């Protein structure tokens, strides 16, 4: 199963500069474990120690936020496109 994963700029040093990688899995949790095997260190940047997605990381499956689906148990299928988006905060008051 080929699933495209878009990698944000801050994490590209872990993927040898690649902005997109491929992985596989039946759900987000499996996919993260698969890309961790290929690119060690990526999982700890995305997940907490208990395996949950860090609160400042947003993951989208085909432009749908997994927080409004089944989180890390969101099912995947061949051809899905995943985007990992770090949350950005700031502004002026």
Asked if 35 and 21 count as a contact pair (C-beta separation under 8 A), the reply is yes
Claim: this prediction has a pTM higher than 0.85: yes
Q: What is the pLDDT of residue 87?
A: 84
Q: How many percent of the chain have pLDDT more than 70? A: 94
Residue 52 in this model has a pLDDT that exceeds 60: yes
Segment 54-68 shows an average pLDDT of 96
pLDDT (tens digit per residue) in 30-49: 999 999 999 999 999 999 99
Q: Beta-carbon neighbour count of residue 83 at 10 Å?
A: 17
Domain ranges of the chain: 3-86
d(CA 74, CA 27): 5
Q: Provide the mean pLDDT of the chain.
A: 94
Q: What is the pLDDT of residue 93?
A: 57
Helix-strand-coil split of the chain, %, nearest 5: 30, 25, 40
CATH superfamily of the 3-86 domain: Beta-grasp domain (3.10.20.30)
Residue with tokens 């474990």: 33
């Amino acid at each position: 199963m080929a699933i495209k994963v878009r990698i944000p700029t801050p994490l590209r040093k872990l993927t040898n500069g690649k902005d997109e990688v491929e992985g596989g899995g039946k759900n987000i949790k499996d996919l993260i474990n698969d890309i961790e095997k290929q690119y060690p260190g990526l999982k700890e940047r995305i997940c907490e120690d208990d395996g949950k997605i860090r609160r400042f990381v947003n993951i989208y499956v085909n432009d749908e936020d997994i927080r409004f689906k089944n989180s890390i148990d969101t099912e995947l299928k061949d051809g899905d496109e995943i985007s990992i988006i770090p949350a950005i905060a700031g502004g002026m008051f």
